[in-house]
Structure 1
Amino acid sequence: MNVALILPNEFQGSLTGKRAAQYVRMSTDLQQYSIQNQADAIATYAERRGIAIVRSYADEGRSGLNIEGRDALRRLIGDVQNGNADFDCILVYDVSRWGRFQDSDESAYYEYVCKEGGIQVLYCAEQFENDGSLTSNILKSIKRAMAAEYSRELSTKVFIGQCRITKLGFWRGGPASYGLRRVLLDETGERRMQLEYGQRKSLQTDRVMLKRGPVAERQIVKSIFDSFVKHKKTVTEIANELNSRGMASPRGGRWWSRTVDTMLANEIYIGNIVINRASFKLQHRRVENPPEMWIRHDGAVAAVIDRKIFDKAQELRKRRQMPLTDQEALDRLASLFRRKGMLSEAMLRASNGVPFGSVFIRRFGSVNAAFKLVGYEQAPRYRYSEHKAKRKAVVRAAAAEIIERVEQAGGRAVFDDKAHLLTINERFTVAIGTGWAHAEGNDKQKRWYVRADKHSVAGIGLILKMDRSNSYVETYLIVSGFELARVNYGELRTSNPVFAKAEKHRDLDAFHRICAKMIGGR
């Protein structure tokens, strides 16, 4: 093991009696960078200098290209900035473990933040002491540039290898698509075994090919394409139907609309392996590549879906992203209104040449807003997309208020807008939902139905119950996440016993007090 030189200088002596935190990170690099090897080298370094390691921060299986996803490093930097560090220095195996940041200034910045907080970063396996001297600064700069270049070179080599594998008709890696299975071949092309989910090839000379999977799964794939193409159902409707039938998704959980849409676009179901449709190299911004840059091998596996059905599915998918101006989209909508005398989202899905409802929502805020522009107004009970947009706005406003109060109390809160899940101090989670009023017969028979993601792993459910006209939040209901998860989808109404026994408040003050206790107990 390559350990730093032990030099009896003033710098080394000044470390005696210091308290340290160690930071270790491993992605998929060589065994020399295992967490245990790093810890052993750091322990040796600390023992020889009389340093006591009092805290450990570990990012396992995390890339060093940026700080996103590296919770331990973020927590370490946060502790230093917030004055919560009970140590004098940070011990890191080497410069690359601190990070292979593509911008070396970013790596230097995080070290500078620690230095500003009175905390020194020490690299235990480098051949220099990080003592602020000219020599150490030059060597650090070189090492940071080398760490970044290593990632760039590795990315290029991996991509070239994946292209070659794909052109030969082999599977480049990762799980097989739903309805397919991976078969492991030796270097002569002889079959070794079928790889199950989570299993990987162990020999570099082995290759993986795809084959058609169980009949039951292939039937589900066919039913998805038929529902989309022949019955004009949306991806959301298809996902809900599969969930109601108790069908497990490709990963064994619930089906989501994004999962269905990804399957509908996947050429593997007509036998083709295609890669490089999008680039996300070195975790930079995702870039959609033109077809001429795609790497493909047609006929790599027996088709599951007929080519005509697949092509029709692509036509329907493109309609949701039709390259029309706003006026052209409205003109087509107006033409449909003149022919039918009314409008609905179901009619949009069934009519060729008219964009899907999602296009109008994205451009005009709601489907009903687009309907109004062509002279048609839906009855209030049918304005689903408009109500959905209002519910989202209510949830976002509540989340923004909570985040502001949490930050004022010295905590940290992050809101997942898609899941409506609020995470406080990286460990306390809140599922936020709405109680929306619905008319049944007349205004006296109003019912409130709760819209919340009961599948979120949340400690608390916060339900924003609206007034009778859905104009403002009338009551804030606080329920346990466990109780919320027990509620069946069809029973998400405020008359349910789970919500009947919930804490009810006129404002968010009670919830803020709960958050303050959690922040204080961190």
Structure 2
Amino acid sequence: NSPDMWIKKEGAFEGIVPPELFYTAQGILRARAHRYSDEELIEKLRNLYQRHGYLSGLIIDEADGMPSAAAYAHRFGSLVRAYQAVGFTPDRDYQYLEVNQFLRRLHPEIVSQTERMIAEVGGSVERDPATDLLTVNREFTVSLVLARCQLLDNGRRRWKVRFDTSLAPDITVAVRLDDSNQAALDYYLLPRLDFGQARIHLADHNGIEFECYRFDSLDYLYGMARRIRIRRAA
């Protein structure tokens, strides 16, 4: 219902904060809800940067007349990108945080794609909404994990694969990401019977005990789920 239809009584209970403080806060919230253009957001952020010589989410949120830090992150994809637009480079490396945000979006996409492909080859798959554990054909369970690429000082690459020991899946699909951590490089189908530890480390070149489980795609996994109709004998 719109406010004019509400039935209310002012001062029915003693307020937690003084009325003037409450209405001041309401005014700030309404001001922050104002729809700014990208140019207006950048101009406000640039002025704030020039006043402080530094930027952070806390500085943005505490500044009068500024949209929230969450608004900047939503509009520009991340706070780091908003900072870059005004020429500010944070002291700490925020690239790691941006990669984390991307991986949180990428993981459900890969899980959903795996579900679709298994269904297309005639298999059945049940997905636990809390853990993303897949039960294929009610025969075996699959857990998909993303392995971030870490570049060492010597130029070599390393991937750390963490097994979800609490779920104890029959197969862990480790998706190795490329140098930019933006796309899949290859896949390792690791059975629990052969890998009982909590984590393993992969390099560019690994021993046969690892390489025999490496695949360029997930076609082998889909093949494990494939169901073929058998004609009834006469």
TM-score by length of 2: 0.58
Helix, strand or coil: the match of 2:82?
helix
Q: What pairs up with 1:105-504 in 2 under 5 angstroms?
A: 322-327=32-37, 328-345=40-57, 347-348=59-60, 354-355=66-67, 357-376=69-88, 381-413=93-125, 421=132, 423-424=134-135, 429-439=141-151, 442=153, 444=155, 446-449=157-160, 454=164, 457=167, 459=169, 460-479=171-190, 487=198, 494=201, 503-504=213-214
Gaps of 5+ in 1: 1-287, 300-306
What is the rounded CA distance, in whole Å, between the counterparts of 2:86 and 2:193 in structure 1? 46
- Aligned-residue CA RMSD in angstroms? 5.0
1:515 corresponds in structure 2 to 225
What is the rounded CA distance, in whole Å, between the counterparts of 2:54 and 2:113 in structure 1? 41
What is the rounded CA distance, in whole Å, between the counterparts of 1:385 and 1:393 in structure 2? 13
Deviation of the 1:467 alpha carbon:
2.2
What is the rounded CA distance, in whole Å, between the counterparts of 2:191 and 2:44 in structure 1? 48
What is the rounded CA distance, in whole Å, between the counterparts of 2:192 and 2:156 in structure 1? 29
Report sequence identity in percent: 21
Contact 1:429 1:457 in 2 (8 A): no
Helix, strand or coil: the match of 2:226?
helix
Contact 1:436 1:451 in 2 (8 A): no
Deviation of the 1:412 alpha carbon:
4.2
Deviation of the 1:507 alpha carbon:
1.8
Q: 1:486/1:420 Cα in 2 relative to 1: closer, same or farther (>3 Å)?
A: same
Q: 1:356/1:420 Cα in 2 relative to 1: closer, same or farther (>3 Å)?
A: farther
What is the rounded CA distance, in whole Å, between the counterparts of 2:58 and 2:192 in structure 1? 35
What is the rounded CA distance, in whole Å, between the counterparts of 1:509 and 1:422 in structure 2? 19
2:232 corresponds in structure 1 to none
Gaps of 5+ in 2: 230-234
Show CA shifts across 1:460-516 (max 9, x none). Answer: 4322111233343223133457999973xxxx6735xxxx96633222122223333
What is the rounded CA distance, in whole Å, between the counterparts of 1:358 and 1:493 in structure 2? 36
Show CA shifts across 1:322-348 (max 9, x none). Answer: 413243544443333223334445655
Q: 1:337/1:477 Cα in 2 relative to 1: closer, same or farther (>3 Å)?
A: farther
Helix, strand or coil: the match of 1:476?
strand
Helix, strand or coil: the match of 1:461?
strand
Show CA shifts across 1:199-236 (max 9, x none). Answer: xxxxxxxxxxxxxxxxxxxxxxxxxxxxxxxxxxxxxx
Helix, strand or coil: the match of 2:148?
strand
Helix, strand or coil: the match of 2:217?
coil
TM-score by length of 1: 0.31
Helix, strand or coil: the match of 1:444?
coil
Q: 1:513/1:345 Cα in 2 relative to 1: closer, same or farther (>3 Å)?
A: farther
Contact 1:368 1:385 in 2 (8 A): no
Larger Rg: 1
1:506 corresponds in structure 2 to 216
Deviation of the 1:439 alpha carbon:
4.0
Contact 1:415 1:422 in 2 (8 A): yes
Helix, strand or coil: the match of 1:403?
helix
Corresponding pairs, count = 205
Q: 1:415/1:388 Cα in 2 relative to 1: closer, same or farther (>3 Å)?
A: farther
What is the rounded CA distance, in whole Å, between the counterparts of 1:415 and 1:354 in structure 2? 43
What is the rounded CA distance, in whole Å, between the counterparts of 2:167 and 2:2 in structure 1? 36
Helix, strand or coil: the match of 1:468?
coil
Deviation of the 1:434 alpha carbon:
1.5
Q: 1:347/1:433 Cα in 2 relative to 1: closer, same or farther (>3 Å)?
A: farther
What is the rounded CA distance, in whole Å, between the counterparts of 1:437 and 1:379 in structure 2? 23
Contact 2:122 2:226 in 1 (8 A): no
Deviation of the 1:387 alpha carbon:
1.4
What is the rounded CA distance, in whole Å, between the counterparts of 1:333 and 1:414 in structure 2? 47
Show CA shifts across 1:275-303 (max 9, x none). Answer: xxxxxxxxxxxxx998x589xx979xxxx
Q: 1:337/1:493 Cα in 2 relative to 1: closer, same or farther (>3 Å)?
A: farther
Contact 2:149 2:157 in 1 (8 A): yes
Helix, strand or coil: the match of 2:123?
coil
